[in-house]
């Protein structure tokens, strides 16, 4: 049997179930034209992926295998590879991925392995077989299952490499073309990224794990794992992270809870795919306003914590999780913009972009998802910055034009509304009035 090993969100050799099957294998990676055509040519994620795909190829060569890299639409690749017997890949659950895989399964026997998340989509269900819609009961059941779950390291089986041409990048269009193995071949410009080995990140995180629960929301304390992008693209196994966290016992429980939360959002999107674009509850869907949207996206709202977060996102592809919540609340409640617009903006720039996590987080902030609380889930951005960035170090890092301003003034809405700051705009809206309007619209 010739088996295609399709690497997608599992860009590693170590602890990868794809390599545990054994037999005659053809490892592949596809730079999907359907996805790439929508992205800007300087997209940081493409650089991140390209770096790890080339590393994966090198690591496979060290164990006697290789990686055939394609630049094409997946259906064309599998027409080209029709001499193989089956394709094996790790699960991916957004609407595009599910539709793509279903279509390809009609061409070739398709087998899913569970690696992207901790649990299979139907592994944590209510007693009546329906999915949980609230996180706490999901977490309790998932945590009990996790205690008994096998998360041991997956060992590499004996694999024999299919005889193929593994050089460069194979482009399949009207004809088959061989391209050089570089970013320009797929039409993108390489970006400079500070790529750190995920196992190094994990070891550093373990040293600070005692402080994670108490300090993770504070913007001038770097106690996070920085593993979200690695979990997104599978450059480290979720099982490997869990093994280390479980070994840390109770001090790591807050982080284990976050890993399970990541599963919960993927699980919801799998079971309720309409969440990807539509409210689960409430018909109010924001008010379209291109001028407000452009000011948010250009970090010129006049609200320091929001603008600092957007500036960080645009420059680095990252945004602190607390700031993501504050920015999303401001977007949907103060500016009253459709959450789908915000989700689309984050999708363009987040290095760790995960469809399920991003969509469900925006629905949570908008108060329209499976656990809607639109009247109470309204963040005051000034109180948030005062609590979590008291000395305004985060704000001033990303908004250096505010270096000369005393921190207390940056947390004071009335001061910002009444005074002119050099090179910085006044707030677009007054929070109290804007939030009142949002609550009224939801009630109506």
pLDDT at 281: 84
- pLDDT above 90 covers a percentage of the chain that reads 89
Instruction: Read off the pLDDT of each residue in 1-11 and give the average, rounded to a whole number.
Output: 95
What number is the average pLDDT over the span 244-253? 93
Q: What is the pLDDT of residues 389-410, one digit of tens each?
A: 999 999 999 999 999 999 999 9
Share above pLDDT 70 across residues of the chain, in percent, rounded to a whole number: 99
pLDDT tens-digit map of 346-367: 999 999 999 999 999 999 999 8
pLDDT value at 375 more than 80: no
Quote the pLDDT of residue 369: 87
**Spelled out in words, what is the top-level CATH class assigned to the domain 120-151+199-271?**
mainly alpha
How confident is the model over 294-302, as a mean pLDDT? 98
**pTM score:** 0.94
The pLDDT of residue 140 is 97
Q: For 290-443, CATH number?
A: 1.10.579.10
Architecture of the domain delimited by 2-116: 3-Layer(aba) Sandwich (3.40)
Burial class (CB in 10 A: 0-12, 13-18, 19+), 400: exposed
Query: In this structure, what DSSP letter does residue 195 have?
Result: -
What is the pLDDT at residue 123?
A: 96
pLDDT in tens, 124-174: 999 999 999 999 999 999 999 999 999 999 999 999 999 999 999 999 988
pLDDT one-digit tens code per residue, 73-96: 999 999 999 888 999 999 888 889
Per-residue pLDDT at 443: 81
The burial class, CB within 10 Å (0-12 / 13-18 / 19+), for 291 is: exposed
Distance in angstroms (rounded) separating the CA atoms of residues 386 and 303 = 12
d(CA 82, CA 109): 11
Confidence of residue 322 (pLDDT cuts 50, 70, 90): very high
Residue 207 burial class via C-beta count within 10 angstroms: exposed 0-12, middle 13-18, buried 19 and up: exposed
* Apex 70 CA angle, 153 and 31, nearest 5: 75
The burial of 200, by beta-carbon neighbours within 10 Å (0-12 exposed, 13-18 middle, 19 or more buried), is given as exposed
pLDDT of residue 374: 57
Q: What is the mean pLDDT of residues 205-220?
A: 93
pLDDT band at 376 (very low <50, low <70, confident <90, very high): low
Query: Domain boundaries in the chain?
Result: 2-116, 120-151+199-271, 290-443
């Amino acid at each position: 049997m010739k088996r295609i090993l399709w690497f997608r969100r599992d860009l590693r050799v170590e602890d990868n179930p794809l390599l545990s099957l054994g037999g005659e294998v053809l490892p592949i990676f596809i730079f999907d034209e359907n996805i790439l055509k929508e992205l800007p040519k300087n997209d940081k994620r493409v650089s991140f992926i390209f770096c790890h795909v080339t590393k994966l190829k090198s690591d496979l060569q060290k164990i006697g295998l290789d990686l055939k890299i394609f630049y094409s639409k997946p259906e064309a690749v599998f027409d080209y590879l029709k001499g193989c017997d089956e394709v094996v890949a790790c699960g991916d659950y957004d609407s595009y991925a599910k539709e793509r895989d279903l279509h390809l399964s009609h061409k070739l026997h398709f087998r899913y392995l569970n690696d992207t998340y901790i649990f299979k989509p139907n592994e944590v269900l209510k007693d009546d077989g329906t999915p949980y819609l609230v996180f706490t009961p999901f977490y309790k059941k998932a945590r009990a299952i996790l205690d008994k779950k096998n998360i041991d390291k997956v060992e590499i089986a004996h694999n024999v490499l299919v005889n193929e041409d593994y050089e460069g990048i194979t482009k399949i269009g009207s004809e088959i073309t061989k391209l050089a193995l570089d970013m320009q071949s797929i039409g993108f410009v390489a970006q400079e990224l500070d790529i750190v080995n995920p196992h190094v990140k994990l070891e550093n995180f373990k040293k600070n794990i005692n402080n994670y629960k108490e300090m993770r929301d504070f913007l001038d304390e770097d106690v996070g794992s920085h593993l979200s992008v690695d979990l997104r693209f599978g450059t480290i196994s979720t099982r490997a992270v869990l093994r280390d966290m479980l070994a840390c016992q109770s001090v790591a429980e807050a982080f284990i809870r976050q890993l399970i939360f990541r599963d919960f959002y993927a699980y919801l999107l799998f079971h309720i795919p309409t969440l990807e674009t539509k409210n689960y509850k409430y018909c109010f869907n924001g008010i379209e306003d291109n001028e407000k949207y452009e000011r948010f996206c250009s970090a010129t709202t006049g609200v320091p914590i929001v603008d600092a977060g957007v500036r960080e996102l645009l420059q680095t592809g990252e945004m602190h999780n607390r700031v993501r919540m504050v920015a999303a609340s401001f977007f949907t409640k103060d500016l009253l913009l459709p959450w789908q617009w915000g989700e689309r903006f984050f999708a363009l720039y987040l290095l760790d972009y995960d469809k399920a996590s991003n969509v469900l987080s925006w629905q949570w902030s908008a108060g329209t998802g499976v656990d809607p609380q639109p009247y109470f889930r309204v963040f005051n951005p000034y109180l948030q910055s005062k609590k979590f960035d008291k000395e305004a170090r985060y704000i001033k890092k990303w908004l250096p034009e505010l270096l000369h301003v005393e921190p207390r003034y940056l947390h004071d809405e009335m001061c910002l509304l009444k005074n002119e700051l050099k090179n910085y705009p006044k707030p677009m809206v007054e929070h109290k009035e804007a939030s009142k309007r949002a609550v009224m619209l939801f009630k109506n």
